[in-house]
């Protein structure tokens, strides 16, 4: 059974059809890309998969469960996590607390446990701490555990956001333009990081990206959309040569 199966996904906002008849499928373990010019509907697809938008047509089945009408936190609990195009960390919480709160679906205690500091509560909080530190150490972020994200440089904030996404224990990780706003040396680090988490956490990764170096060196299979329609898909080398894709990005030469 496929990990993620998207069939004929469509969404319209009023008269605007943002995404139409989008289909794709993940067996598990892939590292695929979704590219397209600005406003093509890439983030909208991610927003539907993560439960933030409800699609007006089609179906998203993740791990045997229909995602379409679930609330986002339920979708995340199922195993889909994501990062955001513009970093959306909780800047007034420490890095460690960011990672802790993201384990909300696995808290495993209720309000009474919390008031009475029961054994269950203390045990679970210790587990949460351990899990948080494990992720921070794996990503070499444990030095910054007590820092506030707003005080960290941009590249590290990206990394923290990825760490936060990992702390929800996803099976599928959606990266929305992870290289946006990074300089070239940061981009090299990011490519290594994504490769590392793909292998180490045994994830399926699906990423939106504009920087071709990142897409070409990481992705196994790429889908290209424009104005909500899929215009091409294939291996990176094939996509680079595809006339449809070149036209979408650069225009067709007629003025």
Partner 1 sequence: MQRLTVPLLLLATLAGLVLAAKLGWIDLYVQTTLMFLCINIIMATSLNLINGYMGEFSCGHAGFMAVGAYVSSLLSVALFTSSATFGEPLLPPSLALLGLPLCLLAGGVAAALAGLLVAFPSFRTRGDYLAIITLAANYIIISLVENLDVIGGARGFMGMKKVLNNMEEVAGLPWMVIWTFVGTVFCVWILQRYIRSSMGKGVMAVCQDEIAAEIMSVNTNQVKLTAFLLSSGLAGVAGGLFAHVVGYVNPQAFNILKSTEAMVMVYLGGMGSLTGSILSAGLMTVLLEVLRPLQIIKWVAIPLLLIILMQFRPEGIMGNRELGDLFPKLKKYYRFK
Residues that bind partner 1 (CB under 8 A): 50-52, 71-73, 76-77, 81-82, 84, 88-93, 97, 100-105, 107, 109, 111, 114-115, 117, 121, 125, 128, 164-165, 168
Distance, in Å, from the CA atom of 230 to the CA atom of 244, rounded to the nearest integer, reads: 10
Smallest distance from partner 1 to CB 43, Å: 13
Residues 6+ apart with CB under 8 A from 120: 108, 109, 113
Smallest gap from residue 75 Cβ to partner 1 (A) = 8
Q: 37 Cβ partners below 8 Å, 6+ apart? A: 226, 248, 249
- H helix intervals, 29-118: 42-49, 72-78, 95-101, 111-116
Q: Return the closest-CA partner of residue 83 out of 155, 163, 156.
A: 163
Output the smallest distance, CB 55 to partner 1, in A: 16
| Residue 114 or 156 with smaller CB distance to partner 1 | 114
Q: Which is nearer to partner 1, 20 or 157 (CB)?
A: 157
Nearest distance from C-beta of residue 96 to partner 1, angstroms: 10
Q: 49 or 219, CB closer to partner 1?
A: 49
Shortest approach of partner 1 to residue 113 CB, angstroms? 9
Give 95 or 222: the residue with its C-beta nearer to partner 1.
Answer: 95
**And the tokens for 131?**
């899990």
Looking at residue 112, the DSSP 8-state letter turns out to be H
Residues 55, 48: contact at Cβ < 8 Å?
Answer: yes
Residue 146 buriedness (CB in 10 A; 0-12 / 13-18 / 19+): exposed
Question: For 89-245, where are the E strands, in sequence order?
Answer: 172-176, 204-208, 221-226, 229-234
Integer angstrom CA distances of residue 124 from 104, 127, 168, 249: 11, 5, 15, 50
3-class DSSP assignment, residue 207: strand
Least distance in angstroms from the C-beta of 93 to partner 1: 6
* Pick 34 or 232: Cβ nearer partner 1: 34
Residue with Cβ nearer partner 1 (127 or 188): 127
Q: How far is the CB of 104 from partner 1 (least distance, A)?
A: 4
Residue identified by tokens 């990423």 is 207
**Which is nearer to partner 1, 33 or 149 (by Cβ)?**
149
């Amino acid at each position: 059974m496929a990990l993620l199966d998207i069939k004929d996904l469509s969404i319209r906002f009023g008269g605007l059809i943002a995404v139409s008849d989008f289909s794709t499928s993940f067996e598990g373990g892939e590292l695929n890309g979704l590219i397209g010019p600005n406003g093509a509907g890439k983030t909208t697809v991610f927003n539907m998969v993560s439960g933030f938008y409800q699609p007006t047509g089609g179906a998203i089945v993740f791990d045997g469960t229909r995602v379409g009408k679930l609330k986002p936190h339920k979708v995340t609990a199922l195993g889909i996590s994501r990062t955001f195009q513009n970093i959306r960390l909780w800047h007034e919480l420490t890095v460690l607390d960011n990672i802790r709160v993201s384990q909300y679906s696995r808290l495993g205690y209720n309000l009474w446990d919390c008031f009475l500091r029961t054994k269950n509560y203390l045990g679970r909080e210790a587990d949460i701490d351990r899990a948080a530190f494990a992720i921070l150490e794996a990503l070499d972020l444990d030095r910054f555990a007590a820092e506030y994200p707003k005080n960290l440089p941009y590249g590290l904030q990206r990394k923290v956001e990825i760490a936060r996404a990992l702390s929800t224990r996803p099976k599928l990780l959606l990266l929305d333009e992870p290289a946006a706003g990074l300089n070239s040396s940061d981009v090299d680090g990011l490519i290594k990081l994504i490769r590392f988490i793909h292998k180490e956490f045994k994830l399926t990764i699906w990423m939106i990206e504009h920087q071709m170096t990142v897409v070409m060196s990481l992705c196994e299979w790429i889908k290209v959309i424009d104005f909500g329609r899929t215009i091409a898909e294939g291996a990176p080398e094939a996509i680079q040569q595809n006339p449809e894709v070149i036209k979408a990005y650069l225009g067709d030469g007629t003025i």
